[in-house]
Amino acid sequence: MSVHSKEWSRDSWKSMPIHEQGIAYPDMAHLNHVLQRLAELPPLVSPASIESAREQHAAAARGEAFLLVGGDCAESFDDIKTDIISQKVSLLANQANHIEAVTGLPVHVTGRMAGQYSKPRSQLIETLADGRRVSAFRGHNINGPDIADREPDPQRLLPGYWHSVAIMHVLSTAEKVHTAHEALHLPMEAALTKDRSNTSATFLWVGERTRQLDGAHLEYVRGLRNPIGVKIGPSTSPADLLNTLGRLCYDREGEEGRVTIITRFGAEKVGAVLPALVEAVRASPFRPVWMCDPCHGNGFTKSGVKTRKTTTLLSEVAQTIRILDRFGAHLGGLHLEQTGEEVTECVGPESLVSDDLGKHYTSLCDPRLSGTQAMWLVERVAEIVVESRDSRNELEQGNHGMSLSQNTLIFHQISTFFVSWIQMAKSLWRISIDKCSFKSKGV
């Protein structure tokens, strides 16, 4: 049976392969018991919130709004504290206010929070210095960072739920903030699915490592009402992207904002990869949101520490904006790994240098932008959005003016032709009259 024609249910993904990033629990009975308990618990988000997010993503796809997604690479249970959560929310609010003030677009905010407890890893097994092989740390929902806690433990899913409840309580006092996380842990996601709504978050995305067309992850998210994101890297082909969009859109007729394409190419590769993808999508019936994640394609290691340069991140976003504009599309959102705390995990632009990395590096996984760095980046992105938009408008006005001039010239040429023709006809008529006059006089 075709992957497109298969009937969907919240468990239909179980008949599809998980190509990688599967979680090997030693006690499946224990896992099933925990999943049953999760299914009985109240939803974290309402269907109304999901429908609101769908409308916001559709507006972003039309260029009428901008989406801002930001938060930790991997949330920590230890960071579920009022002050830390409030700093994250405050940062998102300040960023949104700035983008809105500069661009004039309404900005809809989504936090990478209240569920980003499971992480894909490039290496699922870690070899220790003594030669022992253990599972890599994959987020607090799955296992612990300490070597003794590396075996996947399903019991962790329950504190993950309650920590999310605590965050949702803090968010309820803030201006509307949606939540998002990667739909990696499919057993948990299915347990928290009611009808066609995943009630663990309003916005879910499928990662670059798990988006296989015949895979379980795309099968799970394709039937949801939630807006869905798909991360794509530099190996993505136009055909691959179009097939993915076709897999996720219910009626294959576009569905504005149903899918958010989250690009993560790296500053050195975006110029070579993105143009062909944009052209292919523009020629298709699909109308996704284009969102840039400049973090994941630009990491490097400095003195054994993973980090990112803020200027490189800005370069990828700037290139993405200009390429999209060149091909008649637009940037609809920004996806950042960041925290409101003044951590020292990324480098630059001027406030930090590489030597500062060890001072306050607390990320459980990849490096995050500090509050200062995240604001610096957003301020410049907003400026580039406006500059690119103004340039596009000037070009369109120039083309419109040229079109008017061309039309005027054509009208003038036609008018001149008719005037000349009429004058010639009059001359011929006079000659004819004169000849007749001569004949009548016997000349």
Annotated binding-site residues read 73, 112, 208-209, 231, 264, 296, 337, 366
d(CA 351, CA 342): 11
d(CA 131, CA 140): 24
> Torsion angle of alpha carbons 99, 105, 110, 112, nearest 10°?
-40
d(CA 272, CA 309): 21
List, as residue ranges, the binding site for Mn(2+): 73, 296, 366
Coil/strand/helix, residue 74: coil
Taking every pair of Cα atoms in the chain, the longest distance, rounded to a whole number of angstroms, is: 130
Length of the chain measured in residues? 443
d(CA 219, CA 225): 13
Coil/strand/helix, residue 39: helix
How many Å from the N-terminal Cα to the C-terminal Cα in the chain? 98
List, as residue ranges, the binding site for phosphoenolpyruvate: 112, 208-209, 231, 264, 337
List the one residue out of 317, 325, 320 whose CA is nearest residue 392: 325
d(CA 218, CA 205): 10
Angle at 62 between CA 113 and CA 283, to 5 degrees: 110
Strands of 213-347, DSSP E: 228-232, 259-263, 289-292, 299-302, 305-308, 333-337
